[in-house]
Copies of this chain bind each other. A is one copy, B any other.
Amino acid sequence: MGPAMKTPRITGVLAPVVTPFRADRAPDAERFVRHCQWLLEHGCAGLAVFGTNSEANSMSVAEKADLLDALIAAGVPAAKLMPGTGACALPDSIALTRKAVSLGCAGVLMLPPFYYKGVSDEGLYRNFAEVIERVGDARLQLYLYHIPPVSGVPITLGLIERLLKDYPQALAGAKDSSGDWSNTKAMLDAFGKSGFDVFPGSEVFLLDGLRAGGKGCITATGNINPGAIDGVYRNWQSKDADALQAGITATRKIVQSVPMIPALKAAIAHYADDPEWKRLRPPLVELSAAEEKKLLDGLAADGFAMPGIEAVACPVH
């Protein structure tokens, strides 16, 4: 066997795919697969399954491995997948990363271990280094996931620099969900020319990111608005780019006027006429009736649509 072939890098719009749950709160593989297929057909270049918006940390490693298997079995290309695989426990991170790499996923998006706060870069370096070494597969493309407002554990530029130096083949890039453009810009300026692909964590920064060397975005609203967001990605050098950006930013603001994760699920439930989609796992809860009305009224006034989305005719669980 020759050297392992890396899957080409994903660029463009990725959705951190929301995870549907059945009445017994088990992951609903059928709806999940169907939504992934819809996303790839409507503008997503890739699927960052098992992200924050996927309620990934509310699922066990085994549940996530089963969902990956279901995607592959349904014909979703592994080359489109960038699953989240970072957990608090190193063996969990290693197990899910190994699974993703063995399936041929384009990459993995890794949270730092997020229970302890105020940890050192040395400790975080050891975590990522140990995952890379124990997975021990040249196909691994690791994207670091910086989302301090939720994880409480930042990925510093110094940590990236050290990992890039020691693992230039494995370190593929980062998602920056800090919400702080100056941090994204600093990442791009420092590493964007070293084959380190930076994705802002919101389409609000998509155009700014592309102009500064970014590779697309990985964004919650990619779950419902992938076509328009992809429109900015495809036309970022056109004279219409700023107007297109203003459009997707406006839609984003409507969605994030209520809690984001239940909002995405409520929108899918509404546009697919499939109320099963509204369910969340604790500790998250559904939108209140007032929040749902605010969201749906706002989207309607914006002329929002989800072309081709439809209910999944599932057996009653």
Contacts and interface: CB of A to CB of B under 8 A. Distances in A.
Given A52-B115, A127-B283, 12 more contacts: A57-B116, A58-B88, A58-B113, A60-B89, A63-B89, A90-B282, A120-B283, A120-B285, A123-B284, A124-B282, A127-B282, A130-B282
Interface in A14-73: 25, 52, 57-63
Contacts of A61: 60
A57 B91 CA distance: 11
A281 interface: yes
Interface in A175-224: none
A283 B59 contact: no
Nearest to A112: B283
Contacts of A153: 283
Given A126-B282, A283-B119, A57 B90 contact: no
B58 A115 contact: yes
A114 interface: yes
A14 to B, nearest CB: 20
Contacts of A58: 88-90, 113, 115
Nearest to A64: B89
A154 to B, nearest CB: 12
A281 B149 contact: no
Nearest to A59: B89
A61 to B, nearest CB: 8
A122 B286 CA distance: 10
A90 B283 CA distance: 9
A132 to B, nearest CB: 12
A22 to B, nearest CB: 13
Contacts of A281: 90
Contact of A63 (B62, B91, B119): B91
Contacts of A59: 89, 91
Contacts of A285: 120, 122-123, 126
Contacts of A282: 90, 113, 123-124, 126-127, 130
Contacts of A151: 115
Given A58-B88, A88-B57, A149 B117 contact: yes
Nearest to A280: B123
Centre residue among A114, A282, A284 by max chain B CB count within 10 A: A282
Contacts of A123: 282-285
B113 A283 contact: yes
A95 to B, nearest CB: 8
Contacts of A112: 283
Nearest to A24: B134
A142 to B, nearest CB: 15
A287 to B, nearest CB: 12
A152 interface: yes
A122 B88 CA distance: 25
Nearest to A119: B283
Given A150-B115, A152-B117, A91 B60 contact: yes
Contacts of A88: 57-58, 88
